Amino acid sequence: MKNILIIGSVGQIGSELTLELRKNYGSNNVVAGYRSTLPKGELLESGPSERVDATDIQQIADVVKKYRIDTIFNLAAILSAVGESKPLTAWNIGIGGLMNCLEVAREHGCAVFTPSSIGAFGGGTPLDNTPQDTIQRPQTMYGVSKVSGELLSDYYHKRFGVDTRSVRYPGIISNVTLPGGGTTDYAVEIYYEAIKNKKFTCPLKAGTFLDMMYMPDAIRAAIDLMEADPARLKHRNSFNITAMSFDPEIIYAEIKKHIPDFTMTYQVEPVKQAIADSWPNKMDDSCARREWGWKPEWDLPAMTSDMLKVIGEKYAKGLI
Ligand code: AKB
């Protein structure tokens, strides 16, 4: 990777991945692509940014040519819960955007990283120890677009030799940019509410286990996979990766160790609950470990200490 374009650089993953890539590959070599929300702060000041709407192939091609881009991180997406109320937008951004990236990549010789998700599972998938290769018949627009994206990316690799790679991210927990419209967002919101109000209303019921990961592991995964020796990759789109699996009771108990008067009640949101019930409880990520050395570094206790420290500091400074 020499010259990199991030599409969706102001989102939850993009805002942190862009800065990490700039540290590793040089600030001027990493272009922050945005659609409607302008990058700000360090993201804006530390390197070039360009308007790149994933649904506009010409915009992607122009930026790829201008900066001689060799790697595209295609992060534009509508998350699972919002996707259920905006199916056409979810499809147009998820698949229209991916097709545009793949076509530009085919013409200009770029590699393409596109996140898939635990949302690519459902409809008969074994939910415990979910295998790398298994039934994928999701019943959400998000999931349908993620499976389609995996197939399209493999197709462009096999048919045209485009270097496409991808991971199936679990819920990602972070403290820089909030996620929006996802089913796993509760596992981020709970930390903010614990610090700000010492109480949280959980939209998923107790016993709903889901795979999760702290942002530093998610970023390392994307970079390590894109740097992996292609000769070792038997799979490409997409690798199961996970770092931890918990339900609302377990994360609540972990936070309570730090904030003993923190309380949690439940108000189940049916759309999110139905989605969560169709997703793996815990994936088997041994294939990623074998083929490119994936290994998470953060578990629930370490992540919780760090999340509460960082969010607590922001709260004390009046930033949230
Ligand atoms: C969502 O909840 O939609 C996402 C995901 C797991 O892909 N965070």
DSSP state of 261: T
- In the chain, the percentage of residues whose pLDDT exceeds 90 is 98
4-170+214-240 maps to CATH 3.40.50.2000: no
Q: Which two tokens stand for residue 60?
A: 């992607």
Check residue 229 and give its pLDDT: 97
Check residue 10 and give its pLDDT: 96
Q: How far is the CA of 143 from the centre of ligand 1 (A)?
A: 10
CA 179-242-149 angle, to 5 degrees, is 65
From 166, 168, 169, mutation site for ligand 1 pocket: most ligand atoms within 8 A of C-beta: 169
How confident is residue 180, by pLDDT bands cut at 50, 70 and 90? confident
Q: How many helices (H) and strands (E) does the chain have?
A: 13, 16
Provide DSSP, 221-251. Answer: HHHHHHHS-GGG-S--S-EE--SEEE-HHHH
Instruction: Tell me the pLDDT tens digit for each residue of 223-264.
Output: 999 999 999 999 999 999 999 999 999 999 999 999 999 999
> With a 6 A CB cut-off, is 278 part of the ligand 1 pocket?
no
Question: What's the rounded mean pLDDT across residues 284-303?
Answer: 98
Q: Which two tokens stand for residue 320?
A: 């949230």
Q: Look at residue 1 and tell me whether its pLDDT is greater than 90.
A: no
Q: Which residue has the tokens 């290769």?
A: 133
Instruction: Tell me the pLDDT tens digit for each residue of 186-231.
Output: 999 999 999 999 999 999 999 999 999 999 999 999 999 999 999 9
Q: How far is the CA of 212 from the centre of ligand 1 (A)?
A: 10
The dihedrals phi and psi of 263, each to the nearest 5 degrees, come to -125, 155
List the chain domain ranges: 4-170+214-240, 172-212+244-281+298-316
Instruction: Tell me the pLDDT tens digit for each residue of 75-120.
Output: 999 999 999 999 999 999 999 999 999 999 999 999 999 999 999 9
> With a 6 A CB cut-off, is 39 part of the ligand 1 pocket?
no
> The CATH number of 172-212+244-281+298-316 is which of 1.10.8, 2.60.40, 3.90.25, 3.40.50?
3.90.25
Tell me the C-alpha distance between 62 and 89, whole Å.
23
188 in helix, strand or coil?
Answer: helix
Question: 266: how many CB neighbours lie within 10 A of its CB?
Answer: 12
Ligand 1 atom, smallest distance to 119 CA:
7
Burial 185-202 (b: 16+ CB within 10 A, else e): bbbbebbbbbbeeeebeb
> With a 6 A CB cut-off, is 182 part of the ligand 1 pocket?
yes
Q: Which two tokens stand for residue 225?
A: 């996979």
Check residue 197 and give its pLDDT: 97
Cβ atoms of 128 and 281 within 8 Å: the answer is yes
- Output the average pLDDT for the chain: 97
